[in-house]
A and B are shown apart, each in its own frame.
Chain A
Amino acid sequence: MASDAMDIDGSSPEALRAFYNRLYPFPSIYKWLNQNDQAPSRLFTHREFAFTLPGDIYLRYQSFKDEKEFKAQVLRHVPTRFEIGPQYTFRPRDKKTAKPGTFNPLARELVFDIDMTDYDPIRTCCTDAGICKRCWGFIAAAVHVLEDSIRDQYGYEHLLWVYSGRRGIHLWISDWGAMELSDELRKAIVGWLTVVLPGKDSGKKVNVRSHSKSLPPSIGAVIGHLAEVFDELILETQDVFASTEGYEALLALIPDAALVHTLRSKWVADPSRPSTDKWQDLRQLVKNHKQKALLKSAMEDIVLQYTYPRLDAEVSKHRNHLLKAPFCVHPKTNRICVPVDPKTVDDFDPDEVPTVGQLLLELNNAGKDSAAEDEWKKTSLAPYVEMLEAHTAAIIESKRAIKQEKNGMSW
């Protein structure tokens, strides 16, 4: 196998062309964006696509009349990746002919972007572009919190999680109520979900207890789960407070000088003391402290600061923000941006995601005997495409149900 894989350079333009031509699931992407498996609607025809071509050439405001043209244009340009924007008031390719001020975004999936680099101040295993199974835990924790919050608080049901191909994850929400949100309302959701203030500097970044001492209910609902994540991920897997830098960052978040002094003396004397024990030291001291309530709140805030999802707010706030399409190839890793099942996100291993080279090899090995359509079925891409298909089927079914209910009511 290994020597065969050498025969296909997944990063070459030929490989990319072959991938688009034989494997990229255009029909599935089309149906998902169109929210309908019938004729193209404005959700598709008035939708912006943007192509990134080799040499940092960026083609914006592409749009296609149907699935066929979509595929033809991708094959014509062979973009290293392409992004999806909103449905506009006009076909984006006719943008130039629109009167000034009339070309505006109308609808768009509500999207979220979580990137590992926002966790760089915390994670100990990798930096920058790197990601491993150990730091994926941050992403998994974020997925769980957002899944619960968005479904329970906002009532949205059609959530698609997509691996970004390297070190992050995207969320696409296709409920109609989410599609038509104005930028102002998107900003409100982002505010609701922003618990950890962004920034690379250390220090307290959580401020969620405006007037009351207790946590707002939306955060109170997930703090129990995050405390478990904290124990496993922060204390054990990442051992975040092992280094001097690590435990000093923790001490900076404790609002009691005497207590900080006690802990520091103890930890300086025994620097290799594991994070779990250090956290236990803090817990013991808080238990009998006269400021117990205040310190317990501080401990909850620490849990939030280390585990609550860190969102790239700008991506979510504007309808016209572009986001990389699912099933694109990440140009650095050659891995496919595949959908991720939130139920098994804890077990997701970025290193096991198929690469272009691997998929083409699988296709070659499968032989040419079967039909040319849906060739992805013969490869390890299959479960991922099926995930998107199922997601789209649910969107279409729920649209149909709403329509039926409306018709029923008009009787």
Chain B
Amino acid sequence: MFKSSHLPLEHADKKSWASGGASSSSPMEYPTPLNFYEKPPMFDVKLEQFEQSALDRLRILAEIESCSARGRPWDETKRIVSTLCQKHLRLSSNTAGGDLGIMDTQKEDERRKDHLSHFVLRLAFCRTEDLRQRFITAESTLFRCRFEEATPAERTLLYESRDFKWVKVDDVEKKSLEANLRATLTGFKNIAEQNDAWDRDAFYKVQWSQVPQLVEHRRVFLKKGWAYVPARQQSAIVFREFEVHLRQALNMTNRAMPQMDEDTRLTPIIDHLSQGFLAGVASDWQYEEGDDTTKLRAEQVDEYAKKHWPLCMRSIHDQLKKDHHVKHYGRLYYTLFLKGMKLDINEAIAFWKKSFQGGKVTEDKFNKEYRYNIRHTYGQEGKRANYQAKTCVALLTGDAEYGCPYRFLAPESLQTRLQISYADQGLQSSDIHEILNNKKGSHFNIACTRVFEITHAKYVKKGEGLGQSETVTHPNLYAERSIEFETKKEGPTKVTSKQEDDDLEGIIMQVD
């Protein structure tokens, strides 16, 4: 295992790393939870932390993209992001004090994790224009959520922490431009409210190019290249500056990347992270040892497949029934999936043996080859690793024949497959168009989520996904939720235990 290492997060400034390792931090290292990410993290990091913090942040960014692809209104997006942040990337307010049990050291840790994860993902997303743009959009949304949740005092601290190049309009000038400036104070119920705002609020002058959004929609007064921004729109300057700064930083990181490739420990992690983001999902499902009552038996698989499996697993299952055989990746994906559905090793061997009957695989061949592979997959042979079921990311970037059908099937084939699989669960031909559109926009996980909504219309409304607006990120999560809804269990099972890494395809690196 790696002990610890300085990670070269800001290559343009190598010296800062040489002098890094300033692990003792003053309480003022992060005076506010709002971070403009201008300085790279300067503390020691364990490789596991490096990856885990980035994965946690990735979950949130992926959910932000999903919200945007589904056209969720801002308030809803904010609520979802905020809930998810509580879980994966909590960032407590300065005022969340001792009463709530949030100590300063804990806040400091949260802010460090936020800081670190942002810089790790910069490495992963600086490499193509498409990735850069998506990262900027998602990060800006996250920043905006946090900014809106921040207290006025925290915002003031941010304003004072850097030069936003704004000039407060003095009273004389404000008075002299009254008619023009007042016209930009809009949205009040009555004139008294507007008068009140006029008396109370300041205006800030910036170069018009700092607030293109406000200019485009004529929300400001312009004079000789200066935009007069009402205090209530001041955040627009901050958001814009955040984006501009992040774009410059990503370009710089991208130029410095070749030097970074020397550190071979990081490359696979970074590749893995950007793959996950490309696929639009970050997995949020983990295997949990079940008690006997939740275990799946071989003879139930057929029924469950029809009622609960997502299209990827349903397709493998159907092919297996029809041909009494599936190829390597089909077996691998489905064995791991069924294991995740708590089909234990003996049941699995029974299931596969039965499924192969009638096909070309003789019992002798099955016992010699396939039995071993199943046992291996269950960690009973070879290096005895406890392999995880494949995530949507793995299936999206995996085998074209057995991976995500929303991605790999041609639109016509997908349409047919959907109709065959789900027509008796409420999927109508009028739904197909929307799903194919999601596919066209590369929102494969949203297509899958939509199918879940349609086939579980009794339990979830459109937009609610797997419940609580969650998007499909893992085939097992899909199936579990489906089963839960049917057995009317309250709420999804929370999962905590972390299993050993999946190294069947070397997606997550193993370090010795």
A binding-site residues for B, Cβ under 8 Å: 101, 152-156, 177, 181, 184-185, 187-192, 208, 210-212, 214-220
Contact between B217 and A191, CB atoms less than 8 A apart: yes
With a cutoff of 8 Å between Cβ atoms, the chain A residues found around residue B180 in the complex are: 217
Closest beta carbon of chain A to B250's beta carbon, Å:
15
B213 at the interface (CB under 8 A from A): yes
Question: Could you list some 9 contacts between A and B, CB below 8 A?
Answer: A184-B212, A188-B215, A191-B216, A208-B218, A212-B187, A214-B183, A216-B184, A216-B218, A220-B183
CB distance from A387 to the nearest CB of B (A): 25
Q: Which of B48-56, B219-227, B356-364, B406-414 contacts A (4 or more CB under 8 A)?
A: B219-227
- Pairwise interchain contact B216-A192, C-beta atoms closer than 8 A: yes
What is the CA–CA distance of A153 and B217 in the complex, to the nearest angstrom? 15
The residue among A187, A192, A208, A211 with the most chain B CB atoms within 10 A of its own CB is A192
**B259 interfacial by beta-carbon distance below 8 Å:** no
Query: Contacts A154-B225, A216-B218, A218-B218; is A188 near B212 (CB within 8 Å)?
Result: yes
How near does chain B come to A251, taking the closest CB pair, in angstroms? 28
**B contacts with A, residue count (CB < 8 A):** 22
- Among B168-187, those with CB < 8 Å from A are 179-180, 183-184, 186-187
Which of B's residues lie within 8 Å of A, judged by CB?
129, 179-180, 183-184, 186-187, 208-209, 212-213, 215-219, 221-226
How many inter-chain contacts with C-beta < 8 Å in the A-B complex? Answer: 63
Known: A187-B212, A212-B187. 15 other contacts (CB 8 A): A152-B223, A153-B223, A154-B225, A155-B225, A184-B212, A187-B216, A188-B213, A188-B216, A192-B216, A208-B218, A210-B219, A211-B186, A216-B183, A216-B218, A218-B221
Least CB distance, B386 to chain A, in whole angstroms: 43
Nearest CB of chain B from residue A259's CB, rounded to whole Å: 27
Listed residue (B179, B219, B224) with the most chain A CB atoms within 10 angstroms of its CB:
B224
Separation of A192 and B215 alpha carbons in the complex (Å): 6
Kindly list chain A residues whose C-beta atoms are within 8 Å of the C-beta of B213: 188
Does A217 contact B221, Cβ atoms closer than 8 Å? yes
Measured between beta carbons, the chain A residues less than 8 angstroms from B224 are 152-155
Most buried by B among A155, A185, A212, A217: A217
Smallest Cβ-Cβ distance to A187: which chain B residue: B216
Complex contact A217–B184 (CB within 8 A): yes
Query: Please, how many angstroms separate the alpha-carbon atoms of A154 and B218 in the complex?
Result: 13
Q: In the complex the two chains form, what is the Cα distance from A155 to B184 in whole Å?
A: 20
Complex Cα–Cα for A65 and B127 (A):
34
- Note all chain A residues with C-beta closer than 8 A to B129: 101
Contact flag A211-B216 (CB < 8 Å), given A154-B222, A177-B225, A217-B179 = no
CA distance A190 to B209 in the complex (A): 13
Min Cβ gap B43→A in Å is: 35
User: Which among B186, B187, B208, B216 is the interface contact of A154 at CB below 8 angstroms?
Assistant: B208
Residues of A within 8 A of B184 (CB): 216-217
Q: Are B218 and A181 in contact, CB atoms less than 8 angstroms apart? A: no
Minimum Cβ distance to chain A for residue B180 (Å): 4
- Contacts A154-B225, A155-B225, A185-B212 known; A210 to B183 CB distance under 8 Å? no
The 3 closest A-B pairs by CB, nearest first: A191-B216, A211-B186, A155-B224
Smallest Cβ-Cβ distance to B211: which chain A residue: A188
Shortest beta-carbon distance from B130 to chain A in Å: 11
